[in-house]
Amino acid sequence: MRRNIAFAVESRRPDWRRDEVAAHVEKYVAMVGLTAALDKKPSELSGGMKQRVGIARAFAIEPKMLLLDEPFGALDALTRGTIQDELTAIVRRTQQTVFMITHDVDEAILLADRVLMMRNGVELAGGGWRPGGIAESIRIELPRERTRGTLHHMPGYYELRNHIVDFLVTRAHAA
């Protein structure tokens, strides 16, 4: 794992000394709670640990914006929740801008400040394709301290969730 993350850091910061790279790697591995597994091989890591390595590697190169495409999709519910909590904590500490693609409505409401609802693309009658686009932008006005355990108790949660589900069921396919 150490070499995996160090490779990314070295690619981004080729002028850094080896000890600077090592300290940087250790900082981000600690952020995702994997210090004890720092020198494990990929085959020795669980699926959740591999997801954490990916998150640490992405944050370690310190991009201005981070794009995550279904980052928790292959995880079991408990691991997914743990890593969502870790991602939220990292974002709070680093003030990183994160753009995340998810098909999980509750995950979007839990993690986002804003949800962009996408309209599907359309196949044109004469051939070709018209791409989809942003159909609606929804600001998540729920208190930022929301957690998986408190989310469904928050006033406005169900109205917001129902609005998003209604969009997905009835309007996402509109031409």
Q: Which domains does the chain have, with CATH numbers?
A: 1-96 (3.40.50.300), 102-175 (no CATH)
What's the confidence (pLDDT) of residue 79?
73
Identify the CA nearest to 68 among candidates 106, 102, 100. 100
Measured CA to CA, the distance from residue 15 to residue 54 in angstroms comes to 23
pLDDT recorded at residue 8: 95
**Is the model more confident about 91 or about 134?**
134
Residue 171: what pLDDT? 74
Residue 86 or residue 162, greater confidence: 162
Q: Are 76 and 94 in contact (CB under 8 A)?
A: no
pLDDT score, position 172: 64
Average pLDDT of the chain is 89
Question: Which residue bears the tokens 């409401």?
Answer: 109
**pLDDT per position as a tens digit, 123-175:** 898 889 989 899 999 999 999 888 888 999 999 999 999 999 999 888 766 54
Of 91, 110, 3, give the one whose Cα is nearest residue 53: 3
What six digits make up the tokens of 15? 């002028």
> Which band of pLDDT confidence, cut at 50, 70 and 90, is reported for residue 87?
confident
Higher pLDDT, 56 or 165: 165
What DSSP character marks residue 165? H
Whether the pLDDT of residue 64 is over 60: the answer is: yes
